[in-house]
Structure 1
Amino acid sequence: MHNLFAHTAFLRLVQIVGDPKAEPPIPALIPVSKSTWWQGVKDGRFPRPVKLGPRTTAWKTEDILALIKSME
């Protein structure tokens, strides 16, 4: 049986909006603040997250790539 989710990659918020204070710094894929990102999710401008666990939220990489492409 083929599992559709077997090849789905996920990104955490810090990988999307970056963290210049991290060591080493994490560059932003989409240069907005965390609060701007969450407001965009609420407004429907940014993709909805997937809950991977009780304290783990992530976004499908394909959704983030599609968002970046739509912003070009």
Structure 2
Amino acid sequence: MNQTYLTTEQLSERIKYDPRTIRERMKDSVLLEHRYYFRPFGGRKILYIWENIEQDMLDQADASAAGNIPMAKGGVCRG
């Protein structure tokens, strides 16, 4: 399984958000540990898993286009 690991700065370049916004507002509310990021070797450095982030962004875009409302735990309200 090939995955792309990104630093906060690299992720911010790809999704066009400020690195501080990712660290302070998105991490742990939108981007959850073990699904979207991890701390290698138990350290302070954070690496984001690009494929998981990209897939969920695309899934939410598809759901929004179809008039569906994404739910917090990944479900969809069809309304």
TM range, smaller chain: 0.5 to 0.7
In structure 2, the gaps of 5 or more residues are 62-79
Q: What is the total number of aligned residue pairs between the two structures?
A: 56
**SS of the residue 2:39 aligns to:** strand
Residue of structure 1 equivalent to 2:19 = 34
**SS of the residue 1:29 aligns to:** helix
**Inter-partner Cα distance in structure 1 for 2:54 and 2:40:** 19
CA RMSD between the two structures: 2.2
Residue of structure 1 equivalent to 2:40 = 52
Amino acid at match of 1:57: I
Looking at secondary structure, tell me which structure has more helix per residue: 2
Structure 1 counterpart of 2:10, from 15, 29, 46:
15
In structure 1, the gaps of 5 or more residues are 1-5, 18-27
Cα distance per residue 1:8-65 (max 9 Å; x no partner): 3311111111xxxxxxxxxx111111221121113x2234320113243101122222
**SS of the residue 1:59 aligns to:** strand
Residue identity over aligned pairs, in percent, reads 12
Shift, 1:71, TM fit = 5.5
**Inter-partner Cα distance in structure 1 for 2:45 and 2:18:** 19
Shift, 1:7, TM fit = 3.2
